[in-house]
Amino acid sequence: MARPVAYLGPPGTFTEQAARKDNPQADLESFPSIQGVALAVASGIADEGVAPIENSLEGSVNDTLDILIRQPALFIRRELVLPIAHCLLAASGAGAGDLEIIYSHPQALGQCRDFLERCFPKVQLVASLSTAAAVEDMMESGPKAAAIAPGQAARLHGVEILATGIQDNNSNMTRFVVLSGSDSPPTGDDKTSLCFSFGEDRPGLLHEVLGEFARRDINLAKVESRPSKQFLGDYVFLMDVHGHREEPAVKEALRSLKGRSSMFRVFGSYPRWRGSTHP
């Protein structure tokens, strides 16, 4: 029997939309956190898992990056991009002037920061595990609560939509990744994601590493750093490069980078998303 595809739930999240777009025929199973999605895949409960990894307004999703850094059994198999349109939901009969608390996932709260500061400067903002879970939190809190979530969540829970399109930018997009026990074979139009850190700190070291890709005419699609969580001042660098890890030039650059790093991990090579990147 085919194993299900895990996604960040409950039903009604943008991640569920991404999972259905990636594989409309899949049997989906929701998990309450990104960590739960990852563990479902790593343990064999699910064949694949879908999780957000980057938003055009708020940047990287740290929970997903931390899992990829620390979980060697997980790889990125595919990516896809969805336009994100947020709605303000409330119980039937509730008015905007009655609200005292608004729930949502931290990323969604950040993506609607301008709307919230201008329209609800005195309302308490509370983080939920997902946008759909925010609707459940709202329903448990009573008539003075609201949630920021997809319109689909309103239909699923039978609540009202008070406002639509409340994100700060109409070009709001989120990139999702499909996690699995292996990545994808070369297609000729691929991306490779990886992380690394150094055991020493000296001037020019990062420049030397980046030069390995420049000399081989490999495009760097993304470069960022985040704390290693080992001690203050220690960082992990994350990169997306164009090309597959099995292509000769990329393979050589990765080999050189690995030799200069104290920690090195390839998250996977996978087809570059070529769908629409506009809402």
The reply to whether 150 and 249 lie within a common domain is no
> What's the whole-number mean pLDDT along residues 122-138?
94
User: Are 136 and 24 members of one domain?
Assistant: no
In the predicted structure, residue 279 carries a pLDDT above the cut 50:
no
Whole-number pLDDT of residue 278: 44
Residues 133 and 93 in one domain: yes
Residues 122 and 219 both lie in one domain: no
Average pLDDT over residues 206-233: 90
Cα dihedral across residues 250, 34, 112, 159: positive or negative: positive
Q: Is the pTM of this model over 0.95?
A: no
Cβ burial of 2 (10 Å; 0-12, 13-18, 19+) is: exposed
Region 183-194 average pLDDT: 97
pLDDT digit string, tens, across residues 21-57 = 999 999 999 999 999 999 999 999 999 999 999 999 8
Q: What is the pLDDT of residue 232?
A: 82
Residues 176 and 40 in one domain: yes
Residues 249 and 129 in one domain: no
Query: Both 124 and 151 in a single domain?
Result: yes
194 pLDDT more than 50: yes
Give tens-digit pLDDT for 54-71.
999 889 999 999 999 999
Domain end among 155, 180, 205:
180
Q: Is 231 noted as a catalytic residue in this protein?
A: no
Average pLDDT of the residues in 239-252:
97
Q: Are residues 176 and 152 in the same domain?
A: no
Domain count, the chain: 3
For residue 79, being part of any structural domain is answered with yes
H, E, C per residue of the chain: CCCCEEEECCCCCHHHHHHHHHCCCCCEEEECCHHHHHHHHHHCCCCEEEEEEEECCCEECHHHHHHHHHCCCCEEEEEEEEECCCEEEECCCCCHHHCCEEEECHHHHHHCHHHHHHHCCCCEEEECCCHHHHHHHHHHHCCCEEEEECHHHHHHHCCEEEEECCCCCCCCEEEEEEEECCCCCCCCCEEEEEEEECCCCCCCHHHHHHHHHHCCCCCEEEEEEEECCCCCCCEEEEEEEECCCCCHHHHHHHHHHHHHCCEEEEEEEEECCCCCCCC
- Catalytic residue chosen out of the listed positions 174, 192, 237, 267: 174
Please give the pLDDT value at position 10: 87
- Which CATH number characterizes residue 205's domain? 3.30.70.260
Per the domain annotation, does 276 fall within a domain? no
Active site residue 131: no
Q: Is residue 278 part of a domain?
A: no
- List the CATH number of the domain containing 62: 3.40.190.10
Q: Does 52 map to a domain? A: yes
- Would you say residue 145 lies in a domain? yes
Q: Is 37 contained in some domain? A: yes
Q: Are 194 and 139 part of one and the same domain?
A: no
More confident residue, 15 or 10: 15
Check whether residue 200 and residue 91 sit in a common domain. no
Answer yes or no: do 176 and 208 share one domain: no
Q: Is residue 231 part of a domain?
A: yes
Catalytic residue among 14, 75, 120, 176: 176
**Final residue before a domain boundary, out of 120, 152, 180:** 180
Which residue among 180, 212, 232 closes a domain? 180
Whole-number Å distance between alpha carbons of 66 and 60 = 11
Domain that includes residue 120, residue range: 87-164
Q: With respect to residue 277, please indicate whether it lies within any of the assigned structural domains.
A: no
Q: Which residues pair with 190 in a beta bridge?
A: 271
| Residues 176 and 47 both lie in one domain | yes
